[in-house]
Structure 1
Amino acid sequence: MKTAAALLFLAAAAPAGADQLARVIESVKPSIVGIGSFQKTRSPALIFVGTGFVVGDGLTVLTAAHVVQKTLDIENRETLGILVGQGDTAQFRSGVVTAVDKEHDLAQLRVVGAALPALQLGDSAKVQEGQAMAFTGFPLGVILGLHHVTHRATVSAITPVIMPPQSAQKLDAKLLKPLQKPVYSVFQLDGTAYPGSSGSPLYDPDTGLVYGVINMVYVKGLKEAAISAPSGITYAIPGNFIRELLPRR
């Protein structure tokens, strides 16, 4: 009888967790935007480069620094900005980069227009290995259309910011140095990110609090393998570095 009761409890509890994540996804989606550039005379006029999310007063957007590192063609009126909405109804809103933290691969944009719903930041110092997370963004961008995609993930490790070698034999002095005295640590996730996911918020699936920013996926072999044969290992920058970036306006 106890076993039957336990099974009934588990059966009842599982959908509740799924329902909660579904509600959180719906609440965070309006705050998650595409990052791209627009140039009227270009074909296509709009080029998608990554994902970002809204914080603070609703006009501040966070993303990965490598997403906005391309030099704009100012002479031909190329403009950086965000895409709000989804699918064919997505609209471009111009913005400017107001702060960049290259060390932690973070960038801040200010956008024009009406304020958007903002996500709240959690304390990433409290994140533990084994903690459940989710991230939402636009993998593969306009190839699949501007539609939000969410992945579940577990914090597999909190590890020094270093690219893992293919084997222990490939560890050399250059790779060992950050391990001996790491500059900072990142979240290693078992969720699969794809090109376009960079800049997505990593958040608690129960509360929607943001604890990190998707930075990169570990790629085996050529970069194209990130699409055809993803490793299933993704890294995220801890969100407390965002707090240090935000006041820089």
Structure 2
Amino acid sequence: MFCPKCGTKNIENARFCSQCGHSYTSNQQRNRWWLTGIILTFLLISGGFIYAFVLDKEQISETTVEETIQTPVEKISDSTKLEEEAKDEKEANISTSQSVTKEESTTEQIAPSPQTSTEKDKKEIIREAQTKVYTILTEDSLGSGFLFQDNGTVVTNAHVVAGYIDVTLRDQDGREMNGKVIGISNQYDVALIEVQNLKGTSPLEMEMKESEVGTEVIALGSPQGLENTASIGYLTGLDRSFVSEFQYENVYQIDAQVSPGSSGGPLLDGKTGKVIGINSALLTSDESIAFSIPMYTMTDLLTNWSQSPMDENEVASTFTFYNEFSAYDEYESDDRVDDEYAEDEEDTYGVPFDEASLANFIINFRGNYETALRNEDFGYIEDQLLYDSQAYYEMANYLDEISGQGMLFKFTLNDVTNINMQTDQAIVSTYEVFDFMNAAGEWSVYERIKDYYVVTDEYGNYKITHIEIYQ
């Protein structure tokens, strides 16, 4: 190694220079202190950073501890505040959740909602309506009607009261009242009856606009004489038009069960209870289809009759068969009954025939006969046959013979083609078509021309005595 002072080369690890005596250990010691200083400086700086980090962490920890360790009063106050804030947040979340759920469910399905003020319970509708629906009775027919206005006017079908001016009405409690026809149409199947006993009674509410297909409906009336019967169904068609004894234009088609005797009864909206139609006709080939005249189409005509009633002469002149009643009443009042007429009266019990009521009687019989065949029950037609007559026993025996064999009858056409009114009887001719399935399950179509021989009993009711069939 060389001396840094004189440059003399000395041996390795010499402590002093052999030439000038310069000490090597002082430099080494200085170098060591220099290195030591650098290391100490680094450690001090590092320690400062570490101390600052630890101090900051301790301050944060102390702050948390100070906030946590408080007096009991402060803890209760803060706890209550936190609970209230949590409760408010929870309620807000629930409200938001309900709102979102409600919005989502609206697009997926409509949840049931309480009935609005315009909707009523069906039991309530039927119960209220039955107090204002009546059975209408004449000498040879039975139908239904309902209260139209508080002046005691009752709506029914024209074919129910055709041929009569004075009729009888019976309410749900069995009380009978006298009524008088003050309006009747030979074009539309509607009529209006005035009943003095019903003046001041609130009527059923009427619907003054067209109802929609799918509307739930309730039909009320006295089908087959079962008074105050209610049946529920749907409005299944609009704008049905056909011509029968009357002109039916743009009528409702319904599947609510109706039968002879329901004619003239109200068709109600199943939700509001308003009268939307007048039950009028039944499709004989399919008893699940019936027709109802829309109420809004007849309101003006009925209101006109209510405000300006037709007199008896106007009512009588509407149908030609009214004239027979007038002539008979005049003849009887003059006491000009000779022996020949008295003999005829003994056979017919003094009640004349008329075409409309005879046609209605036979059509009703045909409908009842189909029901009797389907149910294999003679009772459905027994009261329309004269007891101990040929027709009575033939029908009873036939129904007994086919009972239990599984035969089916579906009537597709039943038209009255002619009415021959004689002194002691009337002959009603019909053209009938029906499908028949025998016991073997084989279907056939039959066409029949029939003559129904009709008389009146002691009460003036039509009775069939004989049925002539032409193949």
User: TM-score, length-normalised on structure 2?
Assistant: 0.38
User: Which residue in 2 is equivalent to 1:129?
Assistant: 213
Query: Quick check: which one's helix share is greater?
Result: 2
- Assess if the C-alpha contact under 8 Å between 2:120 and 2:273 holds in 1: no
Matched, 1:117 2:182: no
User: Deviation of residue 123 (structure 1)?
Assistant: 1.5
**Within 5 Å, which residues of 2 pair with 1:1-249?**
20-37=121-138, 49-71=142-164, 79-86=166-173, 90-115=174-199, 116-124=201-209, 126-141=210-225, 144=226, 146=227, 148-162=228-242, 184-220=249-285, 231-239=287-295, 240-248=297-305, 249=309
Q: 1:231 to 1:163 in 2, by over 3 A?
A: farther
Partners of 2:242 and 2:249 within 8 A in 1: no
* Superposed displacement of residue 243, structure 1: 2.8
Q: What is the percentage of aligned positions where both structures have the same residue? A: 22
One-letter code aligned to 1:26: R
By how many angstroms is 1:104 displaced?
2.0
1:83·1:93 contact (CA, 8 Å) conserved in 2? yes
Maintained 8 Å contact 1:101/1:245:
no
Per-residue deviation, residues 156-211 of structure 1 (Å, max 9, x unmatched): 111332279xxxxxxxxxxxxxxxxx973100111121110000101111221111
> 1:224 — aligned with what?
none
Distance in 2, matches of 1:19 and 1:60, equals: 25
CA distance in 1 between counterparts of 2:229 and 2:114 reads 25
Distance of 1:163 and 1:13 partners within structure 2:
44
Q: How big is the alpha-carbon RMSD for the aligned residues of Structure 1 and Structure 2?
A: 3.0
Distance in 1, matches of 2:172 and 2:214, equals 33
Give distance in 1, aligned partners of 2:238 and 2:294. 10
Partner of 1:244: helix, strand, or coil? helix
* Aligned-partner SS, 2:270: coil
Give the 3 Å change call, closer, same or farther, for CA 160–205 of structure 1 in structure 2: closer
Aligned AA (1:158): L
- What residue identity is the alignment partner of 1:120? E
**C-alpha distance in 1 between matches for 2:160 and 2:170:** 14
Larger radius of gyration: 2
Q: For 2:120 and 2:205, how far apart are their aligned partners in 1?
A: 21
Contact 1:194 1:217 (C-alpha < 8 Å) held by counterparts: yes
CA contact 1:135–1:202 (8 Å) conserved in 2: yes
Q: Which has the higher strand share?
A: 1
> Partner letter of residue 117 of structure 1?
S
What is the count of residue pairs matched by the alignment? 194
- For residues 113-145 of structure 1, the C-alpha deviation after alignment (integer angstroms, 9 at most, x for no partner) is 243331111124x3112222111111111xx4x
8 Å contact 1:213–1:236 — kept in the other structure? yes
How far apart are the structure 1 equivalents of 2:151 and 2:267?
A: 18
Using the alignment, how far apart are the partners of 1:243 and 1:193 within structure 2? 26
The Cα offsets for residues 36-87 of structure 1, whole Å up to 9 and x where unpaired, read as 137xxxxxxxx66100000111510000110001347xxxxxx41211133x
Q: Is the 8 A contact 1:198 1:216 kept in 2?
A: yes
The separation in 1 between residues aligned to 2:184 and 2:164, in whole angstroms, is 14
Distance 2:120 2:273 in 1: 13
Find runs of 4+ consecutive structure 1 residues off by over 6 angstroms. Answer: none
Q: Point out where structure 1 has 5 or more consecutive residues left out of the alignment.
A: 39-46, 73-78, 165-181, 221-229
Q: 1:108 touches 1:246 (CA, 8 Å); kept in 2? A: no
Supply the distance in 1 between the matched residues of 2:114 and 2:206 (Cα, whole angstroms): 27
Note the residue ranges of structure 2 that are not aligned, 5 or more in a row.
1-103, 310-471
